[in-house]
Amino acid sequence: MRRVRTGLVLAFALAVDGCGSGGGTPAGTPEPSPGGTWSVVVSGSATPSPTPSRGSARPTTGVTASLPSANPSCTKTWPPTEAVLIPVEVTPIAGGFKVEWPRQYESNYRVAAVPQKLVSGAQPEPAWKDVPAGTGCSISTTITGLVPGAAYIVWLDAPNTGYEVDGTRHLYSGRSGVVYPK
């Protein structure tokens, strides 16, 4: 019987006072008892907002990672990369780029300079340039015919490497940051 009474009090309070209008229970209406269907809110005191502190740069632990070479006699070390498998070194040249990367897994490659200019609608397919596997420690090629001073990202795709755990291929196996041809 207690629940019915509390529910009636709440229904009456909402009907008389309006939902969310800021009033409490109407005058003469008994308040629900603690532990009833209403929540009891405990008042407290405000706490100050956290103050951001400036950290200091900490030196790395001295551990460095580099991409292992397919050939142990190769002496060039390649820096570790984020979210890509093969590091790419891009050097701007007149109207294009010289692109170099370490040889991996006897794979053939393809490279593309992807324009970073915004285009409305469907994006144009990148123009891929096929590059054979090679035999040296690193592989290089040039991409030409680009707009001097325009922004590009160079993608490197190794069709015979770069698979996810579930068997799907990466869309690219390496990439540069934003680069600009001379």
Compute the distance between CA of residue 107 and CA of residue 176 in angstroms, rounded to an integer.
19
DSSP state letter for 3: H
Average pLDDT, the chain: 73
The pLDDT of 168-181, averaged and rounded, is: 84
Q: Name the band, by pLDDT with cuts 50, 70 and 90, for residue 91.
A: very high
Confidence (pLDDT) at 112: 97
- Quick check: 32 and 24 in contact, CB under 8 A? no
Using a cut of 0.85, tell me whether the model's pTM lies above it.
no
**Alpha-carbon distances, residue 157 vs 12, 38, 60, 65, 114 (angstroms):** 70, 62, 31, 22, 13
* Type of residue found at 120: S
The pLDDT of 131-151, averaged and rounded, is: 94
Q: Per-residue pLDDT tens for 31-72?
A: 555 555 665 566 766 666 555 545 444 443 333 334 444 566
Q: Per-residue pLDDT tens for 92-135?
A: 999 999 999 988 767 889 999 999 998 899 988 999 999 998 88
Which of residues 5 and 171 earns the better pLDDT score?
Answer: 171
| Rounded CA Rg of the chain | 33
- Quick check: 91 and 152 in contact, CB under 8 A? no
Compute the distance between CA of residue 26 and CA of residue 117 in angstroms, rounded to an integer.
64
Confidence (pLDDT) at 83: 56
| 9 backbone dihedrals φ, ψ, rounded to 5° | -65, -45
* Type of residue found at 179: V
Distance of CA 161 to the CA centre of its chain: 22
Domains of the chain from N-terminus onward: 1-40 (no CATH), 89-179 (2.60.40.10)
Confidence (pLDDT) at 165: 86
- Quick check: 117 and 150 in contact, CB under 8 A? yes
Which of residues 172 and 139 earns the better pLDDT score?
Answer: 139
Q: How many C-beta atoms lie closer than 10 Å to residue 29's C-beta?
A: 15
147, HSE (Cβ side, Cα atoms, 13 Å) = 9
Confidence (pLDDT) at 69: 47
Compute the distance between CA of residue 85 and CA of residue 68 in angstroms, rounded to an integer.
11
Compute the distance between CA of residue 14 and CA of residue 25 in angstroms, rounded to an integer.
8
